[in-house]
């Protein structure tokens, strides 16, 4: 069954286009990543799926409910978990009160299990929470009623690396349980780690819809080769080799050609060591974003893998 179905969805804010003729579907049991730089339309899509924004044109269905059909959507949302980008908890409530309130509406069959993985300080008021603690509370809230479908807007934003990794492991386990997960992200590596398929959004339009494996294959292979003697990148150029750069004792490049051609080429050199691996996802996404993409190494904030241009 299809968990999310979006057909020719357009959302305008006056003159501004939020999303433009968007069509895609997410199968039941799939983990689907929704990627795009700032302003691409990710939040607009997500808020439309939850009935928080009404479409200007086109349709969207979640768990079979048309997002314009209020009664059907309310019914479907009992089986949906939602983690918004802006959590908007009541600052004066304790974490425990927030969860108790949510439990009274939707249930909390998985509360204890989730709090063992994500442990916000439940007795403290939200006003005193760090960003990461708030995010963890949001994750517990999104999953605790054991929903069939979970929709999340940048779920790892504000989590420390350890908690991010825990979240990725958790999503992989959810996939095994058969939960459908749809989430937006700026973080390329998490998409590779947890998603089955990825939709790439740019300026309100879907520019790619692929399984992660295909995306990686399109990016070619990252080859590192160590050779006897001096080798300059300029001399080491043949079809299919791009971004040739010197490394200690040799060169590295991205290779998009046939393996046999590469081996023929290398046969003319004295090869000490060769390593052929996956390309960095940044290279893959450059293909789709072009100028709208900021590589990690060029980013003003080195920690991020942001796509913000
Ligand atoms: N309430 C609004 N009024 C006017 N324009 C809006 C509104 N909300 C979003 N937009 C515009 O719609 C476009 C899509 O925005 P959206 O927030 O959906 O992008 P996003 O991909 O979620 O970005 P980010 O990664 O920054 O959260 C942008 O051009 C944005 O400026």
Question: Tokens 């409910």 — which residue?
Answer: 65
Note the pLDDT tens digit of each residue in 16-45. 999 999 999 999 999 999 988 888 899 999
Measure 307 CA to ligand 1 centroid, in angstroms: 15
Our mutation pick for probing the ligand 1 site, out of 41, 152, 200, counting the most ligand atoms within 8 A of Cβ, is 41
Token pair listed for 235: 């001399």
239 half-sphere exposure, CB direction, 13 A CA radius: 6
The answer, yes or no, to whether residue 248 has pLDDT greater than 80, is yes
The answer, yes or no, to whether residue 303 has pLDDT greater than 50, is no
**Is this complex's ipTM strictly greater than 0.85?**
yes
pLDDT average, residue stretch 190-196: 86
Q: Which residues line ligand 1 (CB under 6 A)?
A: 13, 16, 18, 36, 38-44
Measure 39 CA to ligand 1 centroid, in angstroms: 5
Note the pLDDT tens digit of each residue in 145-177. 999 999 999 999 999 999 999 999 999 999 999
Fold of 2-216: Rossmann fold (3.40.50)
51 backbone φψ class: left, alpha, beta (φ>0; ψ -120 to 50): left
The answer, yes or no, to whether residue 305 has pLDDT greater than 60, is no
Q: Which residues contact 5 (CB under 8 A, 6 or more apart)?
A: 25, 26, 59, 60, 61
Q: State the architecture of 220-278 in CATH terms.
A: 2-Layer Sandwich (3.30)
Domain ranges across the chain: 2-216, 220-278
C-alpha to C-alpha distance for 113 and 144, rounded to whole angstroms? 9
pLDDT at 278: 73
Note the pLDDT tens digit of each residue in 97-151. 999 999 999 999 999 999 999 999 999 999 999 999 999 999 999 999 999 999 9
């Amino acid at each position: 069954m299809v968990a999310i179905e979006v057909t020719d969805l357009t959302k305008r804010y006056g003159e501004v286009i939020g999303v433009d003729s968007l069509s895609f579907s997410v199968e039941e049991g799939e983990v689907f990543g929704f990627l795009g730089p700032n302003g691409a339309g990710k939040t607009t899509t997500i808020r439309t799926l939850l009935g928080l924004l009404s479409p200007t044109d086109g349709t969207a269905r979640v768990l079979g409910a048309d997002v314009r059909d209020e009664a059907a959507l309310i019914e479907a949302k009992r089986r949906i978990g939602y983690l918004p980008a802006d959590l908007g908890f009541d600052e004066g409530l304790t974490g425990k009160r927030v969860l108790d309130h949510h439990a009274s509406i939707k249930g909390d069959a998985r509360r204890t299990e989730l709090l063992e993985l994500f442990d916000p300080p439940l007795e403290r008021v939200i006003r005193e929470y760090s960003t990461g603690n708030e995010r963890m509370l949001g994750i517990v809230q999104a999953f605790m009623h054991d929903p069939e479908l979970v929709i999340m807007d940048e779920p790892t934003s504000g989590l420390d690396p350890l908690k991010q990794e825990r979240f990725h492991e958790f999503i992989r386990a959810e996939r095994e349980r058969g939960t459908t997960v749809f989430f937006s992200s700026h973080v390329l590596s998490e998409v590779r780690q947890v998603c089955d398929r990825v939709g790439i959004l740019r300026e309100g339009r879907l520019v790619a819809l692929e399984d992660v494996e295909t995306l990686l294959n399109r990016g070619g292979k990252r080859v590192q080769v160590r050779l006897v003697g001096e080798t300059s990148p300029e001399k080491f150029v043949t079809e299919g080799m791009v971004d040739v750069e010197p490394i200690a004792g040799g060169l590295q490049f991205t290779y998009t050609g046939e393996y046999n051609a590469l081996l023929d080429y290398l046969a003319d050199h004295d090869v000490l060591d060769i390593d052929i691996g996956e390309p960095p996802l940044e290279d893959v996404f450059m293909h789709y974003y072009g100028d709208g993409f900021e590589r990690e190494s060029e980013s003003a904030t080195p920690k991020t893998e942001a796509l913000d241009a």
